Amino acid sequence: MTTDDNPEQPVVKASNITKQLPGPDGVLTILDGISLQLAEGEVTAILGASGSGKSTLLGLLAGLDEVTRGEIELFGQSLAGLNEDSRAALRAGKVGFVFQSFQLLPGMTALENVMLPLELAGIRNPAIGATEALEQVELGDRLYHYPGQLSGGEQQRVAIARAFASQPKVLFADEPTGSLDQATGSRIIDLLFQMREQTGAALLLVTHDERLAARCDHRLLIEQGRLEQTS
Amino acid sequence: MSQFILALRFFRRDFRSGELRLLVLALIIAVAAVSAVGFFTNRVEQAMTLQANQVLAADLVLSSNNPIPASFEQQADMLDLNVAHTLSFPSVIVHQDQTQLVEVKAVSKNYPLRGDLRVRPFASANEEVVKHPPAPGHLWGEARLMAALNLQPGAQISLGESVFLLEKILSRDFALGNSFFRLGPEVLIALEDIPKTGLVTPASRVRHRLLIAGNQEQVKTFQGWATTRLPQGVRLEHLSSARPELRGALDRGSRFLGLAALVAVLVAGATVALSTRQFVERQSDTSAIMRCLGASQSLIFNVLIIRLSLLCLIASLLGIAGGWLAQYFLADLLSDWFGGALPPPSLWPILTGLGTGFITLLGFTLPPALRLGAVPPLRVLRRDLDAPPASTWLLVLLGIGAMALLMYLQAGDSTLAGWVLLGTLTTVGLLLLTAWLLVRMLSPLRHRGGALWRQGLSGLARNPSMTALQLTGFGLGILAMLLLTIIRTDLLDAWQKTIPEQAPNHFLINIQPSDVDNLGAFFQAQAIEQAGIYPMLRARLTHINDQPVSPDQYQDERAQRLVSREFNLSWSAQMQTENKIVAGSWWGGTNQQRALFSVEVDIANTLGISLGDQLAFNLAGVPIKATVSNLRRVHWDSFQPNFFVIGTPALLKEHPANFITSFYLPPGKETALAALVRQFPSITIIDVSAIMQQIREIMQRGSLAVEYVFLFTLAAGILMLYAGIQASREYRRQEAIVLRTLGMQRNGLLTAAAIEFVLLGLLAGTLATLCANVTGWFIATEVFGFQYNLNPWTIVAGILGSGIAIGLAGMLATWPLSIKPPLRMLQNG
């Protein structure tokens, strides 16, 4: 991961992006002139205090929202001018997500939650791939449990299985250990890195967990919407 | 992967996880109510057609002054239809040197093919129902024959060259129900007896009739075949309308049932609207994640629509099946009146049921569902983000459109549907306005009073749109329940009162002008109250606004029939008290000298006659022309003499007329009837007590049927209550966690919930009670023509009952939150 100097085709590339939102006292600048790249297989952590704009940056890089200025490329394709559907099509089957609040669908079993990206990608027999993914996160015996019947750690493991089930090229993780205790968080981090290594996906994670950040290839620090430091 | 397969998978998951339980139940109840009533009225309609055919004693009748060609009977045989023969002719009965002109009707053994005959073994005996005509050598005669010749059953009388045993008094031959103009009383004999009377020779003036009945499809085939082959002088008669009194009663019964089902649909609609919101809210998360994972807007929308359609199809089919089963009980209530099981229902109610399901679901679900495709994927990171709100206009228009369509389909009567819709819309408008005011008024109040009071009020103010939704849902539900209570009690009561205890049970027709004064004196002497003696003239409608009328001009079968037969006209200076002017005004003063008509409103609608139109009639060869000056509503079931068309005295007084009257003959006063027959032998008496009894039974059973449909509404109402409470469940759960963590005790939580929901219930109850009474008043006066008496109990029950029921339901729903440890609720997500 570099700020702007990787000669290879990056998986994600942001050039001087700014995000502004209307606020009660006028326009609020959330992100200001950020540029970065994420190469294939790279692992990068975005660090920063609460409200620094980390999650907003992650959402923009994944194409979940539009920038106010600047340009983002995902898999070499500029997101500028793409509507929501075209951005969704670009993500389909190639992007995985892990969220702090797990974002599992409560009405679906663990297996069905993991099957969802495979179904959307049009993969035949999605249950086979989903079962394999759940076995990899050691939840082979919890296939038919609903999220409400699983512990926080187990729910995040289901989310990881869902994120990797479609063999994505890049995984976006937003505070993946934020809702978990330290011991469970450590196991989740191990699992995340283990799965990433198996699939070779690039990983961009937002965290303020220093231990997690220490395991990444690159670390970016955001303060008040600006990229202050990289390592 | 095809969108359909994906939708199927989602659907299976929805079903299993119970996400759709409420929606499905609400739809099943709506469809079941509509289908049950639909199947039932469909069967009654068919039975009514069969019943109406009793007037012909068959489904079709071929009549001629010459023998009917054998080819017609052969064709009927080929189509497996039943046939019977009758011969009618005037003749003279002789008994001990006395003679009486009679109408002889000789019938084959299987007469009548439809309906039955009513006889009395002696004058004061009860009427008996018989299915077969007299045996050879026997004769049945009408009561006035007995009176004219002073006969008793058992007498020997001569007819032509043969002697008959006068066996029974013929009190009713339905097939002559409309033949008011006969020369003498009817006598019924067996067809085999005709040769030995020697009365029928090739030169005799005899009316031959071939009666045909059987499978309705085959009858239609026969009718089609026969119509093109009718020889000169052969007439083909068919009827599909019951007597107006019966039709009126059944129509009102159907309207009541339709209204009851409509109300069930209204409640179920409110439930669907309430539970849809919950469903759509949950789907927002699914949509956000799906969009994150690459699903397009159209995919999300299509998958949702396929799921909803599948849901609708399954719920509708279940509802239709439920309705089909339920109508058996309804049908049982009326079957013996129709003389056996009702005919099986047609498939039409299935389509109505499916239509109801789709209109209800899509009408209330589509606007919020359309938004789901637009849920921003960023919602996965920021929970506060939601889809752009659906256009309020779209929501309102689709909701109103769906309701209007349902009401029209269900009521089959635009006036009735219009009033209920107007009542509903006014209530919704008032409820929304109140919700808006409530939230604003509560803001200052929230800072006063005790903690529980503040908590209860904040429950209402925390989410204005939720409060508006709950208040509207509860209000609509209460409106519907109260409306049905008003229908069940006040309106049905008013209906039953339309036939008072002492309603006329006998009609006198063929009263000659010279008898009018004497008849009046007779009634006075006998202390019998009569309904007034009215002139009656027979005339055929020939022109409307100088345009000739013919049956071919009308699509409607009833209209075709009406213009092909003669009307009973009358003239009068005063309007009958039971009639009500619906357009124009009754003639008074100098207008009585003008040529004017008053037309019954239903017949005017059927024939397309409006106020100011000029009608021309042919009255025994004399053309009569006059302008329609008013339209009247007639209560046919009042049993007063009534007329489709009434003219001014100046227009009709000079034309020859018979007179008609009706009176109530109390039990035990039959001797007066015998005296009347003796004094006025040419007058025909029609005993309508049996038909009146039939109508009273229709009313009683109709009321029972409405009670039955009320059960559907009750079920829908309970479901609506549950859906309304569940709508804010998530908010209350989160609040309960925080409040209990902060130390609020169970009683406190329940009291706060009670304050919130009792207040909601009282407000919804007050507004709905007000609107239900106003709507009830309009329905009573404008649709059914009854007087509406405000029942104070509905007001008390409506307001207090709503407060208590909704308060209790709210407390019950909060109970689990008050006993579960907060940590467990937190862990369960």
CB-based contact A116 B290, cutoff 8 Å: yes
Spatial strand order of the sheet with A95-99 comes to A95-99, A170-174, A202-206, A43-48, A218-223, A226-230
Q: Shortest Cα distance from A101 to chain B (angstroms)? A: 9
Q: What is the ipTM of this complex?
A: 0.80
Q: What does B751-799 look like in DSSP terms, one character per residue?
A: HHHHHHHHHHHHHHHHHHHHHHHHHHHHIIIIII-PPP---HHHHHHHH
- Which of B9, B293, B303 is the best residue to mutate to test the A interface, defined by the most A CB atoms within 10 Å of its own CB? B293
Is the pLDDT higher at B370 or at B224? B224
Least confident of A91-95, A123-127, B357-361, B447-451: B447-451
Residues whose CB is less than 8 angstroms from the CB of residue B337 and which lie 6 or more positions away in sequence, other chains included: B694, B697, B698, B701
Residues of chain B neighbouring A85 (CB-CB closer than 8 A): 296-298
Work out the angle between the directed axes of helices B746-778 and B451-461 (0-180°, nearest 10): 50
Cβ-nearest to B381 among A59, A89, A90: A59
Domain stop point among B687, B717, B745: B687
Q: What is the pLDDT of residue B637?
A: 66
Any residues with CB less than 8 A from the CB of B316 and at least 6 apart, and which?
Answer: B27, B31, B353, B354, B356, B357, B358
Distance of alpha carbon B612 from alpha carbon B504, whole angstroms: 34
Choose the weakest-confidence range: B239-243, B326-330, B808-812: B239-243
- Is the Cβ–Cβ distance between B186 and B173 less than 8 Å? yes
Q: Is residue A31 within 8 Å of A19, Cβ to Cβ?
A: yes
Helices marked H in B506-647: 516-526, 557-563, 601-607
> What DSSP letter does each residue of B454-502 carry, written as one string?
HHHHHHHHS-HHHHHHHHHHHHHHHHHHHHHHHIIIIIHHHHHTTS-TT
Of A65, A101, A120, the CB nearest to B295: A120
For B151: left if phi > 0, alpha if psi spans -120 to 50, otherwise beta; the answer is beta
- Residue showing tokens 């099509």: A89
Fill in the amino acid letter for B511. I
pLDDT classification of B776: cutoffs 50, 70, 90? confident
Element (H, E) at B616: strand B614-619
Residues B799, B703 within the same domain:
yes
- Answer for the pair A161, A194: CB distance below 8 angstroms, yes or no: no
Residue A175, Ramachandran bin (φ over 0: left; ψ between -120 and 50: alpha; else beta): left
Q: CA A211 from chain center: how many Å? A: 18
Q: Do residue B716 and residue B638 come from a single domain? A: no
**Distance separating alpha carbons of residues B263 and B476, to the nearest angstrom:** 10
Angle at B345 between CA B339 and CA B346, to 5 degrees: 140
Is there a contact between B295 and A146 if contact means CB atoms under 8 Å apart? no
Mutation target for B interface from A75, A85, A144: give the one with most B CBs within 10 A.
A85
pLDDT at B751: 87
| Whether residue B744 is found in the same domain as residue B681 | no
Highest mean pLDDT among B360-374, B435-449, B574-588: B574-588
Compute φ and ψ for B608, nearest 5 degrees.
70, 40
Q: Which amino acid is at A80?
A: A
Q: Which of B198, B160, B370 is nearest to B280 (CA)?
A: B370
Q: Is A212 on the interface with B (CB under 8 A)?
A: no
User: Which of B210, B238, B266 marks a domain boundary?
Assistant: B238
Please state the domain count of chain B: 3
- Partners of A84 on chain B (C-beta within 8 Å) are 291, 297, 376-377
Sheet (strand A12-23) strand order: A26-38, A12-23, A69-74, A77-78
| Assigned token pair, B276 | 């849809």
The Cα–Cα gap between A115 and A134 comes to 10
Note whether B488 and B608 are same-domain residues.
no
pLDDT digits (tens, 9 = 90+) for B500-550: 777 787 888 778 888 888 888 888 888 887 778 889 888 888 889 988 888
Contacts of A108 in chain B (CB under 8 A): 13, 17
> According to the 3-state scheme, what is the secondary structure of chain A?
CECCCCCCCCCEEEEEEEEEEEECCEEEEEEEEEEEEECCCCEEEEEECCCCCHHHHHHHHCCCCCCCEEEEEECCEECCCCCHHHHHHHHCCCEEEEECCCCCCCCCCHHHHHHHHHHHCCCCCHHHHHHHHHHHCCCHHHCCCCHHHCCHHHHHHHHHHHHHHCCCCEEEEECCCCCCCHHHHHHHHHHHHHHHHHHCCEEEEECCCHHHHHCCCEEEEEECCEEEEEC
Cis-peptide into B112, omega within 30 deg: yes
pLDDT of the residue at B10: 85
Q: State how far the Cα of B511 lies from the Cα of B685, in Å rounded to an integer.
A: 10
Contact criterion met (CB < 8 Å) for B294 and A112: no
**Domain identity same for B491 and B525:** no
Chain B contact for A21 (CB, 8 A cutoff): no
Which of A93, A70, A94 has its CA nearest to residue A80?
A70
Q: Is B764 left (phi over 0), alpha (psi -120 to 50) or beta?
A: alpha
A41-69 burial: b if 16+ Cβ within 10 Å, else e: bbbbbbbbeeebbbbbbbbbbbbbbbbee
Given a cut of 90, whether residue B755 has pLDDT beyond it is no
Instruction: Please indicate, yes or no, whether residues B336 and B195 belong to a single structural domain of this protein.
Output: no
Q: Among B238, B258, B276, where does a domain finish?
A: B238
| Greater model confidence, B248 or B190 | B190
Q: Which of A12-16, B162-166, B450-454 has the lowest mean pLDDT?
A: B450-454
- The whole-number pLDDT of residue A69 equals 92
Q: Are residues B369 and B234 in the same domain?
A: no
* Count of beta carbons in the 10 Å neighbourhood of residue B447: 9
The CA dihedral of B748, B750, B752, B754, to the nearest 10 degrees, is -150
**pLDDT band, residue B828 (cuts 50/70/90):** low
Residue A111: its pLDDT value, please? 92
Q: Is A90 on the interface with B (CB under 8 A)?
A: yes
- Residues belonging to chain B with any Cβ–Cβ distance to chain A shorter than 8 Å: 1, 6, 9, 13-14, 17, 19, 282, 285-286, 289-299, 376-378, 380-383, 828-829
The H-assigned helical ranges of B127-177 are: 143-149
Which chain A residues are closer than 8 Å to B381 by Cβ? Answer: 55-56, 58-59, 64, 99, 174
H/E stretch holding B163 reads: strand B162-173
C-alpha distance from A228 to closest chain B C-alpha (Å): 23
Separation in Å, CA of A178 to nearest CA in chain B = 13
Checking if the pLDDT of B241 tops 50, the result is no
pLDDT in tens, B74-126: 999 999 999 999 998 878 888 887 778 788 999 999 988 887 788 888 877 88
List C-alpha distances in Å: B40 to B44, B136, B335, B345, B443. Answer: 6, 42, 11, 7, 52
* Rounded average pLDDT over B129-152: 86
Residue B161: strand, helix, or coil: coil
- CB–CB of B285 and A84 under 8 A? no
Residues B667 and B711 in one domain: no
Q: What gap in Å lies between CA B42 and CA B348, rounded to an integer? A: 8
One-letter amino acid of A184: T
Confidence of residue B180 (pLDDT cuts 50, 70, 90): very low
Q: How far apart are CA A45 and CA B675, in angstroms?
A: 114
Q: Regarding predicted confidence, which is higher, B251 or B245?
A: B251
Q: How far apart are CA B507 and CA A117, in angstroms?
A: 81
List per-block mean pLDDT (blocks of 10 residues) for chain A, which spans 231 residues.
56 92 84 91 89 87 89 91 84 86 83 87 86 91 89 89 90 85 84 88 88 87 83 67
Are B627 and B542 members of one domain?
Answer: yes
- Are A92 and B294 inside 8 Å of each other by CB? yes
Q: Which of B221, B226, B206 is nearest to B85 (CA)?
A: B206
Mean pLDDT score of chain B: 80
Q: Does A55 touch chain B (CB under 8 A)?
A: yes
Chain A neighbors of B376, CB-CB under 8 A: 64-65, 84
Q: Which residues of chain A are within 8 Å of residue B294 when distances are taken between CB atoms?
A: 88-95, 117, 120-121
**One domain, residues B610 and B709:** no
Neighbours of B826 (CB within 10 A): 11
Condensed to tens digits (0 to 9), the pLDDT of residues B269-313 reads 777 877 777 777 778 888 888 888 888 888 888 888 898 889 889
| Contact residues for B147 (Cβ-Cβ < 8 A; gap 6+) | B674, B677, B678, B681
Name the residue among B282, B380, B829 with its Cβ closest to that of A97. Answer: B380
Which A residues 138-197 touch B at CB under 8 Å?
A: 146-148, 174
Q: Which range marks the domain in which residue B597 is found? A: 506-687
At B203 the pLDDT is 66
CB atoms within 10 A of CB B458: 17
**Best-predicted range by mean pLDDT (B260-274, B586-600, B739-753):** B586-600
The verdict on B577 and B461 lying in the same domain is no
Say yes or no to pLDDT of B178 above 60.
no
Q: Do B441 and B564 reside in the same domain of the chain?
A: no
Top pLDDT among B725 and B701 is at B725
Q: Which residues contact B733 (CB under 8 A, 6 or more apart)?
A: B817, B825
Range of A176-185, B136-145, B331-340, B395-404 with top mean pLDDT: B136-145
The secondary element (H helix, E strand) that includes residue B82 is: strand B82-95
Tokens of B184: 């003498």
Q: Give dist(CA B316, CA B158) in Å, integer.
A: 67
Check CB contact of A130 with chain B, cutoff 8 Å: no
How would residue B338 be classed by pLDDT, with cut points 50, 70 and 90? low
Q: Do A119 and B380 touch (CB under 8 A)?
A: no
pLDDT tens for each residue of B643-656: 889 999 888 888 88
